[in-house]
Structure 1
Amino acid sequence: YGKLSLNWTGSKTQKALQAKSIKIIAVLIIPVGILLQTIDAWLFSTTYRIGWDSTNFAPYFISGAFVAGVGALVTVIYIVRKVKNLEYYITDSHFDKMGKLLVLACLIYLYFNINEYLIPAFTAKKGEAIHLNTLFTGHYATLFWLVTVGGLIVPILVLLFKKGRKPLPMFFIGLIVVIASWWKRYVIVTPTLLHPFLPIQGVPESWHHYFPSFHEWIITIATLAMALLIITLLVRYLPAIPIQRTADEQALLETNTAAEL
C-alpha cells in the first residue's frame, strides 16, 4: 500500500483535500450514471421496435441498474468480508442498511416494471399485444416470471424483515438479484428482436427462435471473468477498507474510552 499511497502522510491538509475530493466525485458520479443509462435507453426506444418503443425506458433502465449495482455490491462485500476476516469492520449494521437500500431499489424497479408491462396490456395494439402475450404466457413466460418474481418480489419480501438483512441471507439475495438482472436484459432484448417487421415466410424453423451459440456463451463468460479478475486485483492490491479513516476512528474511540475511565 505504501507505493500506491502517493506520498500520503495523513496531514490535515491532505485529509481536507481527500474529503473534498470524495464529496465532488460522489456528486458527479450520480449524473454520469443517470446519463449513461438514459442514453442506452434512448438508443433502444428510438428504434420503433415493439417492446422498446416506450417513453418509460430511461427511468426503467436507471432503476434496473440501481438494483443490479446494489446487489453486486452486497455480494462482493460479503465475499471480501469473509475472505479477509473483516467482520469487525464490516458489521451486520452495514448489511442491514444495504438491505434497506436494496429494498428501496427493488420497489422503484418494480414500479417501473408495472408501468412497462402491466399498464400497456390494457391498451396495447395488435403487435404490442402479441409481444406481451409472449412474455406473460408464451415462449418466454417462464423466464419472464422467474426474473420478475424471483429477482424482485421475493427479495422485497425477504428484506422487509430484519432477519433477512443479515449478512448470509443478504449474500444469497444479492446473488439472486444479480443473476435475475442479467436474464432480465435477455428478456428485454431477445423477444423484441424476434418480432419481425414483416411476416416471415419460407425460412428455416430455427430462424423463428433464438438460443445463444457456443461463441456467445464464451464471450459472455469471458466478460464476467474479466470483471471478476479486475475486482480481485483491486481487492488484492488496494485496501478493502479506508485505512486512514479507520485509524482516525480507532484513535478517537480510544481517546473517548480513556476519558470515560
Structure 2
Amino acid sequence: MHYESPIRNPLILGDKSYSDITNDIARPVESKAPRLWWIAFSIAFIMFLWGVGCILYTIGTGIGVWGLNKTVDWAWDITNFVWWVGIGHAGTLISAVLLLFRQKWRMAINRSAEAMTIFSVIQAGLFPLIHMGRIWMAFWVMPIPNQFGSLWVNFNSPLLWDVFAISTYLTVSAVFWYVGLIPDFAMIRDRAINPVQKHIYKILSFGWGGKAKHWQRFEEVSLVLAGLATPLVLSVHTIVSFDFATSVIPGWHTTIFPPYFVAGAIFSGFAMVQTLLLIVRKIFKMEDYINIEHIEMMNIVIMLTGSIVGVAYITELFVAWYSGVEYEQYAFLNRATGPYWWAYWSMMTCNVFSPQLMWSKKLRTNLVFTFVISIVVNIGMWFERFVIIVTSIHRDYLPSSWSMFSPTFVDIGIFIGTIGFFFVLFLLYARSFPVIAQAELKTILKSSGENFKKHHGDHGTH
C-alpha cells in the first residue's frame, strides 16, 4: 500500500469501509430521486424545450431570424460553439493528464468531468448543424462521390480540421468514459433486484468479474487511452483557434491564439466541473467524497489558468502596439473603448481579476464563493469568445460597412436551450450511472481515508 504523510488532508472523510463506499455511490442509482434533483431537472427541461422551439423556428424560417448581418456574419452561434468546445476540455484533462501524473484527488471528480466533456461537445456540435440553415442537406459536407457535382470538401479549411479534431476527441473521450464505468456497471449489476435493470447493467458491464486479469487489462487500457487523450486536449482547441488565426482579419491574425485558446478552455472547463461537482455534492449528499480538499485543488488550477489567460490578454495588447500596424492597434483599442467596451471589461473582470481572489485560502475553501466564481468565470469566457468574434468584424476596413450586432430572442433561446439540454443530460446521467468511480476510490481508502490516516497517525506517535 502506498504510504501518505499524515500532514496531507484526507480525500475521503468519515469512518468509511469498502462497503460504505459501495452503498453511498450506488444510492443515487438505486433509490428514488431526491426533491432537489426534480427541481433542477424541471428547470433544465423547461430551458431545453424553449431551445428546441427556437431551433425548430430557425430551421423552418431560416437563419434570417438570427441577429446576423452582412458585416457581422459570424456571431452568437460560433461564440456558443467555441464556448461549449472549451468547456469540454477539462474532463479529459482531469482523466488523462492527472491519471498520468498519478494525482489521487482526481478519483472523486473524474467521472463527472468525463461525462461533462461528452455532453458539452454534443452541445457544440448542434451549432454548425443549425448554422447550415437547411439541415437536411448536411450530407453535402461529406466527401461524397462526384456524381452529385464537384462537392469534394476543402481540406485546406480549418473548419474541416475542426470536424476531424472534435469527432476524434468525442470518440476517445466517450471510450475513456465508458471503460472507466465498466467496474461500476458490474457493481450495480450485482446489487440489482429488478431483473430488467440487472439485465441492462449485465450487458453494459461486458461480463466484468473483477478478476486480477480484468483489472490488469483495465489499467493498461486506461493508460493507453490517457496517452491518446493527452495530445487531444492540446490539439482540439488549437485547431478551433485556427478558425480565426489563419485568417488575415485584424484581431484574429495572431500566432498566440493556439496556446491562449487551450489555456482558456482548461480554465472554463475546470470552472464548469466545479459548478457541477457542487451541485452533485449537494443533491446526492456526497460531501464525504467531494470535500474541501478537492474544491481547493480545482480552485488552484482555475487561479493558475486564469493567470495564464490574463498574461495572454496583455501579450495581445503588447503585440498589437509593438507591431506598428494601425489596423491591429485599432482593433484592440476598439475592443476596450468602442461600442462593445462593456463586453471587453466584463471579460477582463470575470477572467483576470476574479480568479486572483483565490490566492486567499479562506476564499478558495468557501463553497458559496467557489460556486459564484465558477459561474462568473464561464460568463467571462463566453464574453471572451464574443469579444474576439464580434468586435473584430463589426468594424471593417470600409466605414460604410460598419455595423453592430444584437442577438434576437431566437439567438438567446437557442443558447439557453443548449444549457438546459446539457443539464438534462447530466442530471439523467447522475441518476443512471455512478457519479463517482467507486472502484478507483477504494484504491486510496487506506492511504487517504480520514479514519485510516488517523489510525496511522496514532500508531506513528506511539
Q: Same fold (TM over 0.5)?
A: yes
Separation of aligned partners in 2, 1:12 and 1:168: 43
Structure 1 residue corresponding to 2:218, chosen from 18, 39, 57: 18
Instruction: Give the structure-1-normalised TM-score.
Output: 0.88
User: Map of 1:95-134 to 2, 5 A cutoff?
Assistant: 95-134=295-334
Secondary structure of the structure 2 residue equivalent to 1:129: helix
Say whether the 8 Å CA contact 2:346–2:383 is kept in structure 1: no
Which sections of structure 1, spanning at least 5 residues, go unmatched?
202-206
* Counterpart secondary structure, 2:327: helix
Query: How much has 1:93 moved relative to structure 2?
Result: 0.7
In structure 2, what is the equivalent of residue 204 of structure 1?
none
SS of the residue 1:200 aligns to? helix
**CA spacing shift, 1:249–1:131, aligned 2, 3 Å:** closer
Query: 1:47 — aligned with what?
Result: 247
Q: 1:128 to 1:249 in 2, by over 3 A?
A: closer
SS in 2 for 1:208: coil
1:210 aligned residue: 405
Structure 1 counterpart of 2:363, which letter? G
Match of 1:159 among 355, 358, 379: 358
Cα shift at 1:112: 1.2
Structure 2 spans left out of the alignment, 5+ residues: 1-187, 190-200
Residue 51 of structure 1: SS of its match in structure 2? Answer: coil
Tell me what 1:231 maps to. Answer: 426
2:313 match: secondary structure: helix
Give the deviation of 1:131 after TM superposition: 1.4
Moved more, 42-51 or 164-173: 164-173
Percent identity, aligned pairs only, is 25
How far apart are 1:255 and its partner, in Å?
8.2
Note the C-alpha offset of 1:102: 1.1
Residue 209 of structure 1, CA deviation: 0.9
TM-aligned CA deviation for residue 195 of structure 1: 2.2
Q: 2:263 aligns with which of 41, 63, 85?
A: 63
Query: 2:309 touches 2:351 (CA, 8 Å); kept in 1?
Result: no
Task: Give the aligned partner of residue 143 of structure 1.
Answer: 343
Compute the displacement of 1:248 (Å). Answer: 4.6
State the shift of 1:115 in Å: 1.2
C-alpha deviation, 1:142, in angstroms: 1.9
Counterpart of 1:219? 414
Secondary structure of 2:400's partner? coil
SS of structure 1 residue aligned to 2:387? helix
In the alignment, the residues of structure 2 paired with residue 10 and residue 89 of structure 1 have an alpha-carbon distance, to the nearest angstrom, of 23
Looking at structure 1, the residues matched to 338 and 239 of structure 2 have their Cα atoms a distance apart, in angstroms, of: 30
| Residue identity opposite 1:16 in structure 2 | Q
Matched residues in 1 for 2:225 and 2:339: separation?
Answer: 44
Look up the match of 1:78.
278
Structure 1 residues 118 and 225: alpha-carbon distance in aligned structure 2, compared to 1, 3 A threshold: farther
2:345 counterpart letter in structure 1: W
Q: Could you tell me how far 1:250 is from its partner in structure 2?
A: 4.4
Paired with 1:226 and 1:29, the residues of 2 have a C-alpha distance of 25
Deviates more, 1:72-81 or 1:128-137: 128-137
Query: RCO higher in 1 or 2 (8 Å CA, sep ≥ 6)?
Result: 2
> How many residue pairs end up in the alignment?
255
**More displaced, 168-177 or 74-83?**
168-177
TM-score, structure 2 as length reference: 0.51
CA contact (8 A) 1:50 1:195 kept: no
Deviations 1:213-243, CA, capped at 9 Å, x for gaps? 2221122222222222222222221111112
1:194 aligns with 394
